[in-house]
Amino acid sequence: MKKGEKRIMAKKPKLSKDFEIKCNRIIHGASVAAGGVGEATAQFQLADDAIITPIHIGMITALAKVFDRDITKDMVFSVLKGAEMPFIGRAVSQFLLGWIPVLGKMNNGATASAFTETIGWMSVAQFYDEWLRDGHTPDERPNSFS
């Protein structure tokens, strides 16, 4: 990062109530599922990725549909690739604590859930920004709402 340059962090966009309700349901549902998988597979290093990755793919695809976006498999994987730093942190934390019976389960479930929330809200910010750039207004309802 250059001197004087600000780091831009993904943050939850200000959405209309309809958008927020739909996005919350999708993201929180996926986070609960990922957290459960993380807890159940805590003692098996990185074994949960085979189950959590399809949860993330489903979540991103569902969020794209909320904003009337057609999304390809390549687009989904580029979103997941863009979130690789939290993935690396999650892998390190699982490696260090995953083998400890109670602490490992709690840690792995919490990090899987938090990672899923982060990916979800990053996706929403991107899709909402594209929605607005396409000329839609914040109060406009997409076709997916009918």
Question: pLDDT per residue over 45-103, tens digit each?
Answer: 666 777 888 898 899 999 999 998 888 877 887 777 766 655 666 666 666 665 666 66
In a domain, 68, yes or no: yes
- Summarize pLDDT for 103-143 with one digit per residue, the tens: 666 777 788 888 899 889 988 988 998 889 999 888 888 87
The predicted structure's pLDDT at residue 74: 78
The predicted structure's pLDDT at residue 29: 96
H or E stretch including 1?
none
What distance lies between CA 11 and its chain's CA centroid?
Answer: 12
The Cα 94–Cα 52 span in angstroms is 14
In a domain, 140, yes or no: no
In a domain, 3, yes or no: no
CA angle 99, 104, 107 (to 5 degrees): 145
What's the total number of domains in the chain? Answer: 1
Decide: 116 and 59 in contact? Cβ < 8 Å: yes
In a domain, 102, yes or no: yes
Q: Domain range for residue 39? A: 17-133
81-110 core/surface letters (b: 16 or more CB in 10 A; e: else): eebeeebeebeeebeebbeeeeebbbbbbe
In a domain, 6, yes or no: no
The Cα 50–Cα 52 span in angstroms is 6
In a domain, 98, yes or no: yes
**Greater confidence, 54 or 29?**
29
In a domain, 5, yes or no: no
The predicted structure's pLDDT at residue 47: 65
In a domain, 108, yes or no: yes
- Tokens 């109670």 locate to 102
CA angle 52, 69, 79 (to 5 degrees): 40
